[in-house]
Chain A
Amino acid sequence: MSSSTVSLYLDPQIRDWVLFPITLVMILVGILRHYVVVLLQSPPKKQTREAIREQRAIVRSQILRATSANSPAPPQFYTSISRHLSQAFAAGTYLKDGPPKGDAAPTPPNPMDPANMDGMMSSMKTQMVMMVPQMVIMGWINFFFQGFVLIKLPFPLTLGFKSMLQRGIETPDMDVRWVSSLSWYFLNFFGLNGLYRLILGGENSADSSRDMTASPFATAGAAPPGVPQDFNKLFKVERDNLEFSEGLYSWVGANVEERVLRRHGKLQPQ
């Protein structure tokens, strides 16, 4: 079948009453969803002083270690900080609930703790706001416009695109350039993100294709805020790192006079 013998003509009414409404509805729903999500977001939970201290204790040793190979701190100061941190980590001084008492096995943090469910709940809520309208729109299109051919692409395509562009139409012979209503929905679904970014700014929550891939539980492994961590264990690991860095340590001022003298030609260059 060559394209010159195409005998398919689209009613302009289809353009006015199906093509434009689907696009418009999808854009508007995206914008609406953005604002609903903004409304649903609960303010970030306040943390106590102790919790922040516990979270940031690791950072202290990381900062110390970051420059240890060429450290700005003189040896005495470096070792005193390093030892102090190491001891504090061993004794659990930085733990939120104070040092662990006796030999009682530390209770593993409960992932279903109500205090930690907030984060999960809010992401579930966002997910629902994403999914429900999409399902409704898809149902609407399937119910009213099933089997509609909406537009003809201005360029030829191979047969491989048939399943992508003519979903919902079971005709083996039709030219691939014709796009069905359901396929038009999917094209919009994945393609409108650029438009949302233009209308709502960079960090909008209107784009739904991104959230299709993100499950509310996928983030659990990456330790988002709200998911408990066993800081005691982290501290123990950090102690080893500290000792390791102490071996690597050298002071930036160790041979600085030689370097400066060489630069000014007072010593023979090496």
Chain B
Amino acid sequence: MSLPTALERLATYRTNNTRASQDTFEQGCITLKSQSTAKLGDEVWGFLEQLALASIDVGRLDIADECLKQLGVKFPRSPRVDVLTGIRMEATESPDTVLEYYDQLLEEDSANAAAWKRRISVLRRTGKYERAVEELSKFLDTFYTDVEGWLELADIYSSCNQYTHALQALSHALLLAPQNPFTFLQFAETAYTSGDLPLALKMFLVVVEMGERDIKPEAPPSGINFRAWLGVKLCARQLVSASHISSASDTPIPKTIKLIDELATERVLLYYQGEKETGSKHVYDWLASS
């Protein structure tokens, strides 16, 4: 692969924040070996950071150290390089050492968001969920607009079966990114898992409404929409037959639940139309049994 294409691809990865570590590493090594880093101008520092992260990811710590050395010479005492050094330490050092290092960074500048997030991730990785949740809540109280932070909090809560708390965290993520159907889907699935079927049904329908806005109503569902339709079917099937379903969020069961159930069945069948594989038979059986 030639150098200009390699550089171009790396630049795209940087702008899109893609984590294609193996590819980044290979392209980056071409660039590093060809001694053309000087030609990059000021972009070389962004490139070095990218390559360092990628090589830590693929386990080539020697390359990462080389990048870090160059960055450290150019930007002494830069918080960004400090955090990168911390990530490099996470690869080899014990969690306690790394935590101490991040503590030190945070003592110098208590508002160093990147170091704080790394610290939380180390806490979670080492199984200290309580402290991770505590720190993450504090972090989000300060940096409210961090959507990934809220999703991470929801993920920690879900992994500990604390679905009510997870839903609360997800509702913040929804407020921050109301245009993202995947957050709605996650909310709906978490609500389903927590047993709040009416709420889950509504949220699945919101996903469907968002996702199918630009396609024809007759077209078979695909991707996230199909997953949401399956969710609708799962909820509706239980809500139709059950006489009394409790909802922690006091969401009423829609009066048209029979129609919804019908529609969901149609949509799911539409997806499997014309498919003769063994999987579809199970779906037909499942739909027929309700």
Contacts and interface: CB of A to CB of B under 8 A. Distances in A.
A74 B111 contact: no
B175 interface: yes
- Range, interface on chain A: 35 or more
A257 to B, nearest CB: 4
A49 interface: yes
A15 interface: no
B150 to A, nearest CB: 12
Contacts of A72: 171, 174-175, 178, 184, 206
Given A77-B171, A253-B202, A47 B184 contact: no
A60 B150 CA distance: 13
A253 B205 contact: yes
Interface in B179-227: 184, 199, 201-203, 205-206, 208-209, 212, 217
B249 interface: yes
A51 B256 CA distance: 51
A48 interface: yes
Nearest to A266: B259
A137 interface: no
B225 to A, nearest CB: 11
B238 interface: no
Given A56-B144, A256-B209, A77 B249 contact: yes
B206 A52 contact: no
Contacts of A259: 209
Contacts of B109: 46
B175 A260 contact: no
Q: Most A CB atoms within 10 A — which of B175, B206, B251?
A: B175
B31 to A, nearest CB: 25
Interface residues of B, number: 37
Nearest to B139: A49
B208 A63 contact: no
Nearest to B177: A72
Contact of A63 (B145, B212, B259): B145
A248 interface: no
A60 B251 contact: no
Interface in A223-270: 252-253, 256-261, 263-267
A76 interface: yes
A81 to B, nearest CB: 7
B205 A49 contact: no
Interface of A: 46-49, 51-53, 56, 59-60, 63-64, 67, 71-78, 80-81, 252-253, 256-261, 263-267
Closest A-B pairs by Cβ, 3 of them? A253-B202, A77-B171, A72-B174
Given A73-B175, A253-B206, A258-B256, 12 more contacts: A47-B111, A52-B111, A52-B142, A59-B144, A59-B145, A63-B145, A72-B184, A73-B174, A74-B251, A81-B175, A261-B259, A267-B259
